[in-house]
Amino acid sequence: MKELTRAEEQVMQILWVLKKAFVKDIIEKMPEPKPAYNTVSTIVRILEQKGFVNHKAYGKTHEYFPIVAKDNYSKFYLNNFLSGYFGGSFQNLVSFFAKQNDMDVKEVEELLKHVKGDINTEDNE
């Protein structure tokens, strides 16, 4: 899996919510100033080449839908982020986060308890 550019990720975020959409539907959900139709169309075709979306053709019109789940991309992205900035160590990430946000020991413990709960929930699914 490849990491997405900011523009590609913005389009994917919209597609993950909509489940399927035409380019005009994607543009409608984008903030102002809205990009040109051709710009969004190009981004969607790049996402298709990267294996993130597929389409169903209706004549010359295409309806696009995600084929990579948001959760799968999130895990991939966070693992890359963790390894790139924190040597793959969740402990280093939490330490950095705690220092940057002036968290006390109790707040860090609550954070870790919450994270462990999420991990245990995932294991049971």
The string of pLDDT tens digits covering residues 4-21 is 999 999 999 999 999 999
* Higher per-residue pLDDT: 69 or 91: 69
Q: Are residues 11 and 38 in the same domain?
A: yes
Of the residues 18, 39, 66, the one at which a domain ends: 66
For the stretch 45-54, contacts whose Cβ atoms lie closer than 8 Å and that sit 24 or more positions apart, written own/partner, are 46/8, 47/4, 47/8, 47/11, 47/12, 50/2, 50/4, 50/8, 51/1, 52/4, 52/8, 52/12, 53/12, 53/15
Q: Is residue 1 part of a domain?
A: no
For residue 89, what are the domain limits? 70-124
Considering the domain architecture, whether residues 51 and 75 belong to the same structural domain is answered as no
In this prediction the pTM is 0.75
| Number of domains forming the structure of the chain | 2
60 belongs to a structural domain: yes
For residues 89 and 7, which has the higher predicted lDDT (pLDDT)? 7
Q: Is 110 within the bounds of a domain?
A: yes
Say if residue 61 is in the same domain as residue 85: no
In a domain, 97, yes or no: yes
Predicted confidence band at 23 (pLDDT cuts at 50, 70, 90)?
very high
- Clarify whether residues 56 and 87 are in a common domain: no
**CATH at residue 47:** 1.10.10.10
12 shares a domain with 34:
yes
Least confident of 19-23, 66-70, 77-81, 104-108: 104-108
